[in-house]
Amino acid sequence: MHSFRYVGKELHCEDVNLSALAERHGTPLYVYSQATLTRHFVELDRAMAPLPHLICFAMKSNSNLAVINTLAGLGSGFDVVSGGELARTIAAGGDPAKCVFAGVGKTEDEIAYALRQGIYSFNVESEAELRRISRVALRLKLVAPVAVRVNPNIDAGTHAKITTGTYENKFGVAFEEVEGMYARAACLPNLRLRGLQMHIGSQLTEVKPFKLAVQKVVPLAQRLSQRHGFDFLSIGGGIGIVYQDALASGSPAWWKRPAARRILTPETYAATVLPLLRPLGLRILLEPGRFISGNAGVLLTRVEYIKRTGRKNFVIVDAAMNDLVRPAFYDSYHEIVPLRKRAGKTVSSDVVGPICESGDYFAKDRPLPKVGEGDHLALLSAGAYGSVMGSNYNSRPLAAEVLVNGRKSAVVRRRQDPAEIWAGESTAPWQRGKKR
C-alpha cells in the first residue's frame, strides 16, 4: 500500500502537494515516498520474521542514493549486478557485507573490487565464472564466498522479457548440473561454498510458481548444505505489484475488494514459502526490487500539446520513453492521473512523448479526463525500473528526482544539464569544433 492520494482535488505524496512540486522543480520529475519504501520493506521483513532472513533489495529497480540510504537504514542488504551498483551502495551508506553480487558477465575487475569490499556472496551463473572468481581470490589472497544460481526450469508465467527461470533463459546453472558443479568447486582454491540461489522471474502475481520452485530446490539445498556446510538459500525476488488499479490500491479499503485477491501479498507469499523452507535450517535471502520500490514512485509530466487527428486524441507530454521505457519495451501499463482532479466526461486518448518514434507512448486509447496545455499528469507505479532505465536518447537530459518524507521534500537527483550529456565527447583531432 502506498502514500499517493488526492487530498481534496490535489494529488499528494504523503503530505506534499505534487502540483506544487512540479511547479517548483519542473518536469519530467520522479517523486518517491519514503514512507512507502519503508512500509513495503517492513511488511515483507515482518512476514518473513519466523525464519532467520535477510532482504537484499534489488537495487537495479531503483538505485537512487536516497532510496538506498532509506533501505540501508532499515537494515536492508542489497542485490547488486555491477561494480557500479556496489560502489553506489557504499556511497549511499549501505553495508557491503550485506551485498550479494549477481549477473552473468562479471568482469575480473568487478570481482576483485567486490572481494576487496568483503561482500556477502557472489551469485555465480556458470562454471567459467566460478573458476574466474577462484583465480582472482587466489591472486588477492582472499576467500570468495559463493553461491551457485540454480535454474529450476519453472515457468514464472510472466512477460517473456522478464522470465528468467527456464532453460530458454541465459540465467543460472541447469538444475541437473548443480551438484556436479559444487563437487568440482569444492576442489578449487580460495572459495567458500556459502549457499545456493535462485530467481525465476519478475512481476509474479501468483504464488504458485514460487511454491513449485521452492519445492524443487529445497531438497537440493538440503543435500548440498550437508555436504558443503551452507549458510543460506536465496529465493530471489519477483513479487509483483498493482499496476492497473494503482491509485485505488493506496487505500486500505481497496485491499478488501475481490480485485485485491489477485495481488500477491507478503503474507500469502510467506505463508506459502515459510513451511517449505523451515526444515532447511538455513538463513533465507530475498531479493525483492519492484515490490519495495514500484508503487513508491511516480513520474510527473506536463501536457505540452493536445493534437487531434481524424481518429485520435493525442496528449503530448514532456516525459518520453527515455524517462520511462517500460510501455515501449514491455507494453506495460502505467495508470495516468491528473495532479488536479477533474470532473466531467473522459476522452479516449493516446498519451505520447516528444521522441521521434512511434513506440514513444505511455498509453493508447486510454479514457482520460479532459486535459489541456500546461496541466500536469502523474504516471503511477514508476518507482521500479523507471529512472534507472532512463537514457539520453534524443539528447534529452535525465529527469530530476525528489524524495518525500511527511511534509518534507528534497531533490535527490538534480535535473541533468544538457551540456553534461556530451561532456565526455569531443571531435577528432583532424576536425574543427570541440577540442579534447
Residues that bind ligand LLP (CB under 6 A): 58, 61, 79, 102, 162, 164, 199, 202-203, 236-239, 287-291, 326, 330, 384-385
Angle at 176 between CA 173 and CA 181, to 5 degrees: 60
To ligand LLP, the closest distance from the beta carbon of 287 in angstroms equals 4
To ligand LLP, the closest distance from the beta carbon of 311 in angstroms equals 30
CA distance 8 to 293: 26
To ligand LLP, the closest distance from the beta carbon of 307 in angstroms equals 28
Cα 402 to Cα 18, 65, 66, 295, distances in angstroms: 11, 11, 9, 15
Is 154 in contact with 216 (CB distance < 8 Å)? yes
To ligand LLP, the closest distance from the beta carbon of 182 in angstroms equals 19
Contacts of 317 (CB under 8 A, 6+ apart): 301, 302, 303, 304, 351, 352, 353, 362, 377
To ligand LLP, the closest distance from the beta carbon of 374 in angstroms equals 30
CA distance 85 to 90: 9
Closest CA to 186 of 159, 226, 155, 218: 226
CA distance 326 to 46: 30
Whose Cβ is closer to ligand LLP: residue 326's or residue 340's? 326
Angle at 381 between CA 377 and CA 382, to 5 degrees: 75
To ligand LLP, the closest distance from the beta carbon of 294 in angstroms equals 8
Whose Cβ is closer to ligand LLP: residue 302's or residue 334's? 334
Is 295 in contact with 381 (CB distance < 8 Å)? yes
To ligand LLP, the closest distance from the beta carbon of 333 in angstroms equals 11
Chain centroid to CA 149: how far? 19
Tell me 96's DSSP state: G
CA distance 80 to 122: 10
To ligand LLP, the closest distance from the beta carbon of 332 in angstroms equals 7
Whose Cβ is closer to ligand LLP: residue 384's or residue 402's? 384
Whose Cβ is closer to ligand LLP: residue 143's or residue 207's? 207
Q: What is the three-class DSSP state of 18?
A: helix
CA distance 318 to 426: 29
Q: The cell 515483507 sits on which residue?
A: 44
CA distance 367 to 364: 9
Is 56 a known active-site residue?
A: no
Q: The cell 519478475 sits on which residue?
A: 202
Dihedral (C-alpha) 12, 13, 17, 21: value to the nearest 10 degrees? -140
Whose Cβ is closer to ligand LLP: residue 182's or residue 291's? 291
| List 56, 99, 187, 356, catalytic entry | 356
Cα 314 to Cα 281, 309, 310, 324, 375, distances in angstroms: 57, 8, 11, 18, 14
To ligand LLP, the closest distance from the beta carbon of 27 in angstroms equals 21
Closest CA to 273 of 263, 261, 285, 255: 285
Whose Cβ is closer to ligand LLP: residue 80's or residue 371's? 80
CA distance 409 to 404: 4
Q: Grid coordinates in use for 335?
A: 495508470
Which residues carry out catalysis? 356
